[in-house]
Amino acid sequence: MTRPSAGGRIEVICGCMYSGKTEELIRRMRQVMIARQPCRIFTPRLDTRYSEAHVASHTGARLEAMPISSIHEVLANVEDMHVVAIDELHFLEDSAEEIIDGCQDLADRGIRVLVAGLDQNYRAEPFPGMMQLMAVAEQVDKLYAICVRCGAYATRSQRLIDGKPAPTDAPTIVVGGLDLYEARCRSCYEQAP
């Protein structure tokens, strides 16, 4: 693990569905709160699976958060903050360049920026914003889940429609949980025709 600096930095928590990304973000933010550092947590308006005004993990852990649609809303709401957390970064409507520029701007202001999100979409292709942010971040933690088919380390999010792999021409962003997605390893992951 990288030794945290006193100034700004970017930390990325990524992985597939059910790998514990939000749980890890919440854990780090609880430490920030114990240290009484001024902080703010943001969650995409698009993600209403568990709550509209909280980051919430699949296991039920949650912290109050400000709903946003864009990195620009983050930039406008961080005055006097030392730490900023953004959950489900891949749900933001911004381009990859806007996300990178926004996070870099925050870190350049001396803010510790924590982001969590999927590194790959259901087609096992990288999310551009996450991919590029991982390249410029001071710290990247890639988490894994357990494959529901064989028990190996899972690194892919298998989207299902009526129990079958979603076609490759389906929308990239579909918010869902156990009803739509399974964690799978490389061997058990299925690409639809």
Phi, psi dihedral angles at 181 (to 5 degrees): -130, 150
Q: Which amino acid is at 71?
A: I
Q: Which of 11, 23, 24, 88 is catalytic?
A: 88
Write down the residue that tokens 């039920």 correspond to.
60
CB of 158 closer than 8 Å to CB of 147: no
CB of 89 closer than 8 Å to CB of 129: yes
Beta strands in 125-174, from DSSP E residues, in sequence order? 139-143, 145-146, 153-154, 156-161, 164-165
Six token digits for residue 133: 């942010």
Alpha helices per DSSP H over 41-93 = 71-75
Six token digits for residue 117: 């999100």
Q: Is 88 a catalytic residue?
A: yes
User: Helix or strand or coil: residue 122?
Assistant: coil
Active site residues: 88
